[in-house]
Amino acid sequence: MKRLLSSLIVSAAALAGLAVALPAAAQFAKPEDAIKYRQSVMTVLGTHFGRIGAVVQGKVPYDAKTTADNASVVLAMSTLPFSAFGQGTDKGGNTKAKSEIWTEADKFQAAAKDMQGQIVKLDAAAKSGNLDAIKTAFGDAGKACKACHDTYREK
C-alpha cells in the first residue's frame, strides 16, 4: 500500500508538471493538425487501455510487467490530448468533438481531470501487481472515459 501510494504521488506530481508544461495555447499550425494529434493520442491510449481490458476480462493471461507497461503508456497519453482542444479546433478534419467542449469548458476540463486522476490510480494499481486492484481501477477509469465520450463526442 505504501509502495502504491508513493507511486501514485510520483505519478500525480508528474501529471501536474505536464499539465503546466503544456498550456492550451496554440501549439499547432492548423486546426487539422490539432485534431489529428488528439485523435492519434486517443488511438494510442485506447489501444493500450484495451490491452489492460483484455486482461481484466480474462481474455488474455495477466502478466504484471506487460500490464504495467501498458498502464505507463496510458498514463503518458492521458495528459496529452487536452492542449489540442484550443479555440478554433471545433471544426476541421474528421472531428467528432461536440461544441459543448468549448461552451462548457470548465465542465470539460473537470471531466478531463477526473479521467486523469483515475488513470493515475490505474497506473499505480498496475505497478502494484495486484490484479484485483487493477480490475477495480480499470472499471473506474473506463467509467470516466465513457462519461466524457458520452457528453462531448458525437456518436
Residue 154 φ then ψ, to 5°: -65, 145
Q: Please identify which residue in 69, 90, 100, 114 interacts with its own copies, judged by CB under 8 A.
A: 69
Cβ closest to its own copies, residue 35 vs residue 124: 35
> Which range in 1-9, 73-81, 86-94, 105-113 contacts its own copies by CB under 8 A?
73-81
Report in angstroms the alpha-carbon separations of 35 from 8, 146, 148, 152: 30, 20, 17, 14
Residue 36 φ then ψ, to 5°: -60, -40
Question: Binding string to its own copies for residues 45 to 64, with x set by CB under 8 A, is what?
Answer: --x---x-------------
Cβ closest to its own copies, residue 73 vs residue 133: 73
21 near its own copies (CB under 8 A): yes
73 near its own copies (CB under 8 A): yes
CA dist 72 and 126 (Å) reads 9
> Which range in 1-9, 40-48, 89-97, 112-120 contacts its own copies by CB under 8 A?
40-48
27 near its own copies (CB under 8 A): yes
C-beta of residue 120 within 8 angstroms of C-beta of residue 72: no
> Which range in 13-21, 89-97, 115-123, 137-145 contacts its own copies by CB under 8 A?
13-21
DSSP state of 83: G
DSSP string spanning 88-141? T-SSSTT--B-THHHHTHHHHHHHHHHHHHHHHHHHHHHHHT-HHHHHHHHHHH
CA dist 137 and 15 (Å) reads 17
Footprint of its own copies (CB under 8 A) = 17-18, 21-22, 27, 33, 36-37, 39-41, 43-44, 47, 51, 65-66, 69, 72-73, 76-77, 80
